Amino acid sequence: MRLLLLLFVGIQFVTLARAENYPYRSDVLWVTVPDKADWLYQTGEKAKVEIQFYKYGIPRDVEVSYELGYDMLPAHDKGKLVLKNGRGVIALGTMKEPGFLDCRLTAVADGKTYKHHVKVGFSPEKLKPYTQLPADFTEFWKKAKEELDQYPLTFTMKKVEKYSSDEVNCYLVKLYVNNKKQAVYGYLTMPVKPGKYPVVICPPGAGIKTIKEPMKRIYYAQNGLIRLEMEIHGLNPEMSEDDFTEVSRAFNGAENGYLTNNLDDKDNYYMKRVYLACVRAVDFLTSLPEWDGKNVIAQGGSQGGALALVTAGLDERVTACVANHPALSDMAGYLWGTGGYPHFNRMRNMLTPEKVKTLAYYDVVNFARFVRCNTYLTWGFNDDVCPPTTSYRVYNLIQAPKEALITPINEHWTSDDTEYGHMLWIKKQVK
């Protein structure tokens, strides 16, 4: 009953989702209940899932077509099931190797097609990445940080009155990241009350975008934390919507986007500047007179979760890390099986030997090996953007003290309660 309750509660948070198992204001409700409460099995153990289908809350005896495939991979089996009283059971079989099995469902009701899916895991705690650690990985990044240190910390801060209050001050920060005068922007929020506070760096999710809602996580500053919510492309959040749209269209195509820019050259790959910008952001935050001199936290989701882990792996000043369903994880994994966002297997000529070699220097699984601070990860099983297979591969590699909040029903989203819980976890890490 507890699992069933969670399935219904999950509907409340659909507005946060991009890939919707539960579309907003849908007449149809799917419920999928694996015969293991935590949706986890041992390799070789057979799994079953009960399927329920309701329209207007009334059970419907529809025919369900289903496909079974490994996480993010083509189907290897399929079948049909006619529900009785709106219910039926599908035998999923098993997996001989650690991983996730995805049951993809389709039903037609009153002439309209409805889709759903559910993933279950088999010994995922044993998952290992395809991506290997380059022999000169630490030397490469040590040299990159030394080059960054040659340039003085340079930034501007402008108070933003419309986002400030008697309780919280907000500043628009322009932070220069190298000698080419390239910069990134961020909104810095901090308590008005004089004092010394921990600092939190929050990198962004994927895409060419500016910071739209700087006050969405205002509770960080309200709880005594200085927080920098940053972007990574040098886009001033005060630019006009028309200018932003032009930039986004020009530099965010499927095969000419920033994540593919100079991918065959590890020294000039676009993400090198991004990773170093995160280190520079730590330089900035630890230069603030309001910093408490001890606590530096990296926090983010998806690409932001990836960058939080990268920052923790690159910079020993980071004392705690929180990451949701990290992207950029085992990106070349598709050469072996399941891979991670941005799913280069779907793009032409993106998994060539030279590009795969570069990816190893930028893959989150390799930074996870060097995380030394307390770390908290959360991810869902039904995520088709940052699949659970790659989240487990990252988590399994972390040797530092770590905790996980696993939310099987979640796709590529987290609830407001989960996000607020991240802040509460961070407060517990403060020394």
> 30 near 105, Cβ under 8 Å?
yes
Q: What is the separation, in whole angstroms, between the first and last Cα of the chain?
A: 40
* Structure tokens, 221: 């500053």
Active site residues: 302, 383, 412
The structure tokens 């028309």 sit at 242
Q: Can you give 3-29 as a three-state secondary structure string?
A: HHHHHHHHHHHHHHCCCCCCCCCCCEE
Give the full edge-to-edge strand order of the sheet including 320-324: 155-159, 168-176, 183-191, 226-230, 197-202, 291-301, 320-324, 374-379, 402-406
Give the angle 394-399-402 at the CA atoms, nearest 5°: 75
- Our measurement of the distance from residue 216's CA atom to the centroid of its chain's CA atoms, rounded to an integer in Å, reads 18
Rounded Cα distance, 258 and 269, in Å: 9
Rounded Cα distance, 205 and 34, in Å: 31
Give the angle 154-157-162 at the CA atoms, nearest 5°: 160
Rounded Cα distance, 169 and 193, in Å: 9
